[in-house]
Amino acid sequence: MTKYFDGSIAQLEEKVEARLSDYRFQHVRRVRDYAIQLAEANGVDPDQAEVAALVHDYAKERSDSDFIAVIKRKKMDPDLMNWGNYIWHGVVGAEMIHDELGITDSDILTAVREHTTGAGATMSKLSQVIFMADYLEVGRDFDGVQVARDITKQSLGQGVKYEIVHTLARLVKKETPIYPKSLETYNYWVRKEN
């Protein structure tokens, strides 16, 4: 039994596993391990971080039509229709996690919504932990990942800054549209001293 899920962690893990390919489920488990460590180091409840990490990509393998149905049924921001799975799996996925898994903790749902783009001044420590654990889990091997891990160990906030700067630089180089929330994250964290 956990405080954040009406059942055991093992039951939650099974529900997530049933919705994901093995490849992605293994990513989720590594994010969970990293998130627990970052939570312990940063005064975040590790049980809350564990649940948030386990569900963060719950919706990642859903079809576009599933997301569109939720956007319409819940009368979500119509601008969402201009984006795709990469934004929907967090923002719209949080609704599925609420409705299908019965997760009602608003901090967890917000951390899921923000896990791809981050957020500005309102980004909670839990949300920062999930954002960083997703980027740094031991299966990640992009250039700079070890530097990013070291920076994040020193300062969670500097880690968030590193991630948003490098992710945006990569997206701009590919001439990919930037979701407005990602720009908000950049503008807030790029000014942060620590």
User: Given the rule CB under 6 A, which residues bind ligand GDP?
Assistant: 57, 60, 86, 90, 115-117, 134, 167, 171, 176-179, 182
Q: Which is nearer to ligand GDP, 95 or 134 (CB)?
A: 134
Least distance in angstroms from the C-beta of 86 to Fe ion: 8
For the CB of residue 38, give the shortest distance to ligand GDP in the complex, in Å: 15
Q: Which stretch binds Fe ion (CB under 5 A): 7-15, 55-63, 146-154, 156-164?
A: 55-63
| Binding segment toward Fe ion, per CB under 5 A, in 32-40, 56-64, 71-79, 182-190 | 56-64
For 22, the token pair is: 């093995």
Least Å from the CB of residue 6 to ligand GDP: 26
Phi, psi of 2 (to 5 degrees): -120, 160
Q: How far is the CB of 92 from ligand GDP (least distance, A)?
A: 13
DSSP the chain: -BTTBSS-HHHHHHHHHTTS-HHHHHHHHHHHHHHHHHHHHTT--HHHHHHHHHHTTTTTTS-HHHHHHHHHHTT--GGGGGS-HHHHHHHTHHHHHHHHH----HHHHHHHHTTTT--STT--HHHHHHHHHHHHSTT---TTHHHHHHHHHH-HHHHHHHHHHHHHHHHHHTTPPPPHHHHHHHHHHTT---
**Applying CB under 5 A, does 114 fall inside the site for Fe ion?**
no
By a kind-dependent CB cut-off of 5 to 8 A, residue 86 interacts, out of ligand GDP, Fe ion, none, with: ligand GDP
Q: How far is the CB of 78 from ligand GDP (least distance, A)?
A: 18
Residue type, 110: T
Quick one: 86 or 99, whose CB is closer to ligand GDP?
86
Task: Report if residue 134 touches Fe ion, rule: CB under 5 A.
Answer: yes
